Structure 1
Amino acid sequence: MNSGRRGLVHRIALNAASPCPKARLECVGPARDVLRSIAESWGITGGALDDVLTVAYELIVNAVRHTPPGRLPVSLRLSPDGRRLMVEVHDLSRRLPRIPTGAFADDGAESGRGLLIVSALAEQWGATLTADGKIVWVRIALPIALPVPALARATHRALVVADVVRAARTRAVKPNPFSPLAD
């Protein structure tokens, strides 16, 4: 777990490297259990916990089903003010997610509703392309602000002070007229 400018952050990596899609889906249950433990340790309970786990489950299942086998990093981020939670799933596909047009009409469909559920539970969601795939992210508003430990705030202050000190120590280097690189 990290803390700092972005509040609390916890990252896990799922092993979805099996060439068999059914075997890759076996990582989803344990990931959900780990995410439940993290969210509960931060004080997320009740309906908010159910929403977080449902969103995480849908994003992870989509990533496992629709991307090549590999490692899937998953992040939970609690905002510095404790009012929002971000769920992020990184995958190896560059294909951006979309809500299927038939998802609204076909009551008998066995899949295609995951992003509808995510959209209904999220304050906002989207995807960002990366050098090696994409990050699908969801921001969930929490019903009450959670206390962000003082450690997170203290760490943030320490990082700011370190940045200021580092910037203050930066000096312009005078060119050496005797250097073979001098003009």
Structure 2
Amino acid sequence: MDEAFESWLLARGFSKISSIVEYTKQLEDEIEQESDLLFYSLAEGLMKDTEFAEAYELCLTGTANKNIPQPIEQVMASIASELGDEWRRNCYSFFVDNKLVGISIPHIEMGTQSEGRMFYFGVVPDMRGQGLGTKLHKLTLEIMKKMQANYYVGSTDESNKHTISIFTKNGCTLRVKKGIYRIEK
């Protein structure tokens, strides 16, 4: 919710959980980059659904996002539900020297024809701090462009400085900041 309504929400019993920032980028200028990262979609059959789910959970370990984590079975069901029957084509794993670096799940936002989003992207903890998140994100922007996305919208918790840095390094600009609120029962 737009933070302009924060006082109204707080006065009515809502509590603020955090704030998210949303970044955007036009994709027409993207050019393919040389990368030492290899990537595969889950649809290629080189990884099982359960292995991808484990990689997803591993990437979540130690992140700065403050949203309440869901059980991985629920996350995987959400991916399948939101992305449709061909959801495995959108689930990518990235490797360097046969070692898992991270995952991303690019897609065209439902109800649009050209808005690229990432259901999630992340780097495994022991590969962080090497610039691989920026490379993974950049390659995922290229994948989105091939999916016919004209622009990208990405969001993260305002405290996730690493992801914000990745967004800005890859040419994304701040679009909006929104509060996350919850009412206690």
TM-score (norm 1): 0.29
Higher normalized strand content (fraction of residues):
2
- Larger Rg: 1 or 2? 1
- Higher relative CO (Cα under 8 Å, sequence separation at least 6) belongs to 2
